[in-house]
Amino acid sequence: MAALLCALCLVLATSLVPCRAGHSARALQEGMLYPRESPSRELKELSGIWSFRADWSQQRDAGFAEQWYKQPLRQSGPVMDMPVPASFNEITQDPRLRGYVGWVWYEKEVLPPGRWLRKEDGTRVVLRMGSVHYYAIVWVNGVQVTEHEGGHLPFEAEISRLLQDAPGKPCRITIVVNNTLSPHTLPPGTIQYMDDDSMYPKGYFVQNTRFDFFNYAGIHRPVLLYTTPPAYIDDITVTTGVDGNVGLIRYLVSIRGSAHYSLNLTLHDADGVTVATGDGPDGQLKVPNPILWWPYLMHERPGYLYSLKVTLSATVDGRVSEDSYTQPVGIRTIRVVDTQFLINGKPFYFHGVNKHEDSDIRGKGLDWPLVLKDFNLLRWLGANSFRTSHYPYAEEIMELCDAYGIVVIDECPAVGMKDSKNFGNKSLQHHLVVMEELIRRDKNRPSVVMWSVANEPASDLRPAGYYCRTVIGHTKSVDPTRPVTYVSNANYARDQGAPYVDVICVNSYFSWYHDPGHLEVIRLQLSTRLDNWYDTHRKPIIQSEYGADTIAGFHADPPLMFSEEYQSALLKEYHAVLDQKRKKYVIGELIWNFADFMTEQGTTRVLGNKKGIFTRQRQPKASAFVLKERYWKLANESSCLTPAKYDDVCLP
């Protein structure tokens, strides 16, 4: 019924926006542990080739009207092969599919192991989607099991009974995806119909957005099946602290499937040695002389992780049910004090990058070679941090940040909020759910040191004050252990949300979007702007974006816009000011951008945004060497570590 209602939304509304049936809100009542194998849990990866079909009907509703999910997708009409994970926009040579807006259908048949299907064992089988952009409805063997609004975050559904009712038969998984954006989605957008029959075909429309990256769509992250026993560990929440020479790990464990159980917890160090034990669902472990989780370049053992093994023994229908799950734990503290950002009581200066999950073939699909290449480039640069601009990145990336000691500002997909319609109650309620989903996913990650609730919202609009205060307040109530920010490009005196953040993040593009070509004005303009922000709000500041578009291989002397020389010169002008202000109230600088990335086509974009210090193929521009020299100098000043110290050290 929910699927039909969403299809009716497409038929009756004036846009192609999917409706929301409330599954996201209900999902928050349950945990969302990252799938890990254990003696009681198995995983089956479903990445690979899926059947795919776009709905080309005028209202994009043929799939619902004809109920494509009730039979194998290939029986509904022509299908093509589509890799998962990947963005469907980049895979074919069809220009219509690259810019397609509406519903697309995916399907895969998989044969679960027979041992999963024995009813007497009570094994739970869960279907998990890492990220589907933007709106998804999921069927198993023609039965709807879940739906989800919003890309970038995981969702799942238990499908045990459906599989057990058809033993020995393939499990047919159907996922329909809609990439339409409305004024109330995150990110927002609008559908514009072109009614001039002399210029456009009948029914012609375009998707308008106000964010500067391509609206890639599809199944972007792994889809998998995993199992748990009938009584299982549903969620684990870990917070850490330090009292003198003792590390404190506070834990809260949620159990489902039985009210009669016992819990044992064992904390191991990186060598597997037991350092603390506990029992019960709520408690605290004490670790004498702990090895703290330090950011990369601040300690000889960055990214140090303990392993918290939680073991459950429960009774279900007179039978014993056992489960175990291992949660990585990094012991560290975070505080914002006056004009300092403290990690483990030591001032931390963010010198890093903004990134995009953007590859030239897979779009935003998880790509392991690209991921590892990027982490090695971060190490080469001497970067200690990045912001997940402008949406949550894959859990696999976050796992590496924990292990490598890369500090993360974790940002939700609230980008392009430029209209008063984006600050209404409908948008607000969805925004609160998204922040809950993000915190549920990343709450235990030591690498995540701050939440960012938006990027460049129109925070000078009147409704923005209440909206920002509510989102920030809700985020703090869900996770009181981390500071909260959002990234602003508004006027310092008119920004309605700045009073509520812990850290001011400011974007500026002097001598690019303002006074283009005039490098000589940067120092005065940047210094004045930073001083105005600080004098008004008296909070630490991060220069969260700055940069210039640069075409690799284009040279000009004297420096001209779009040349490698101009980008390098602009960075140096910014750095001169930041060196003055970081002695006072500036606590970080994040270049825009780590690498070139794809955008919508436009007269100001030549095959995408070219502000990267690396090309989209990850080759360095001249600015990368400027930044490398600076970042290693900053690291040396704060930590007495040099590039040579790490030359022969592989990442953990």
Q: How many CB atoms lie within 10 A of CB 620?
A: 19
Task: Indicate if the pLDDT at residue 346 is higher than 70.
Answer: yes
Strand partners, 589: 351, 543
Instruction: Find the DSSP H helices in 386-463.
Output: 395-404, 425-442
Q: How many CB atoms lie within 10 A of CB 463?
A: 17
Looking at residue 168, what is its pLDDT?
Answer: 81
**Residue of 357, 109, 354 whose CA lies nearest to 218:** 357
Cα 506 to Cα 490: distance, rounded to the nearest angstrom: 8
Task: Say whether pLDDT at 19 is over 80.
Answer: no
pLDDT value at 554 more than 70: yes
Question: What would the CATH number be for the domain defined by 2-179+215-224?
Answer: 2.60.120.260
H helices of 129-238, where? 160-164
pLDDT score of 28: 62
**Residue at token pair 């252990």:** 481
End-to-end CA distance of the chain: 49
Can you give the pLDDT at residue 12? 30
Measure the CA–CA gap between 358 and 213, rounded to whole angstroms. 9
The stretch 102-108 carries a mean pLDDT of 97
Contact 542, 588 (CB under 8 A): yes
Residue 1 pLDDT grade (very low, low, confident, very high; cuts 50, 70, 90) = very low
Backbone φ, ψ for residue 394 (5° rounding): -60, 145
Q: How far apart are CA 325 and CA 253, in angstroms?
A: 11
Question: How confident is the model over 304-310, as a mean pLDDT?
Answer: 98
- Please tell me the number of Cα atoms within 13 Å of 144 on its side-chain side: 17
Q: Is the CB of residue 441 less than 8 Å from the CB of residue 32?
A: yes
Query: What's the pLDDT score for residue 3?
Result: 38
Average confidence (pLDDT) over 253-282: 96
Contact status, residue 19 vs residue 149, Cβ threshold 8 Å = no
Task: Report which secondary-structure segment, H or E, holds 108.
Answer: strand 103-110
- pLDDT of 639 reads 55
Nearest to 352 by CA among 314, 297, 399: 297
pLDDT of 299: 78
534: left (phi over 0), alpha (psi -120 to 50) or beta: alpha
- Cα–Cα dist 53/74, whole Å: 9
- List pLDDT tens digits, range 133-158: 999 999 999 999 999 999 999 999 99
Q: What percent of the chain has pLDDT over 90?
A: 85
Provide mean pLDDT across the span 284-291.
Answer: 97
DSSP three-state, residue 189: coil
> Which pLDDT does position 301 carry in this prediction?
82
Domain 232-329, CATH homologous superfamily name and number:
Immunoglobulins (2.60.40.10)
Dihedral of the CA atoms 372, 377, 380, 381 (nearest 10)? -140
> Which one has a higher pLDDT value, 362 or 515?
515
- CA-wise closest residue to 613 among 429, 438, 431, 381: 381
**How far is residue 319's CA from residue 321's CA, in Å, rounded to a whole number?**
6
Question: Is 70 exceeded by the pLDDT of residue 592?
Answer: yes
Q: CB within 8 A of 38, min separation 6: which ones?
A: 323, 324, 325, 326
Domain ranges of the chain: 2-179+215-224, 232-329, 349-646
pLDDT band at 2 (very low <50, low <70, confident <90, very high): very low
Query: The whole model's pTM is what?
Result: 0.92
CA distance linking residue 597 with residue 80, whole number of Å: 27
- Reading the block at residue 435, the tokens are 């922040």
What pLDDT is attached to residue 456? 95
Pairing of strands 504-507, 484-488: parallel
Residue 5 scores a pLDDT above 80:
no
pLDDT for res 194: 93
> Mean pLDDT across the stretch 233-260?
96
C-beta of residue 579 within 8 angstroms of C-beta of residue 351: no
**Residues identified as active-site:** 456
Give the fold, CATH level 3, of 349-646.
TIM Barrel (3.20.20)
- Cα–chain center distance at 46: 21
Phi-psi region of 276 (alpha: psi -120 to 50; beta: other; left: phi over 0): beta
Query: The tokens of 231 are what?
Result: 């009584």
270 pLDDT tier (thresholds 50, 70, 90): very high
In sign, the C-alpha dihedral spanning 22, 23, 24, 25 is: positive
Copy the structure tokens of residue 181: 């954006």
Mean pLDDT of the residues in the chain: 91
Q: Per-residue pLDDT tens for 456-480?
A: 999 999 999 999 999 999 999 999 9
Taking only the tens place, the pLDDT of each residue in 172-195 is: 999 999 999 999 999 999 999 999
Task: Name the burial class of residue 318, with classes exposed (0-12), middle (13-18) and buried (19+) by CB atoms within 10 angstroms of its CB.
Answer: exposed
Collect all residues with Cβ–Cβ distance below 8 Å to 198 and sequence separation of at least 6: none
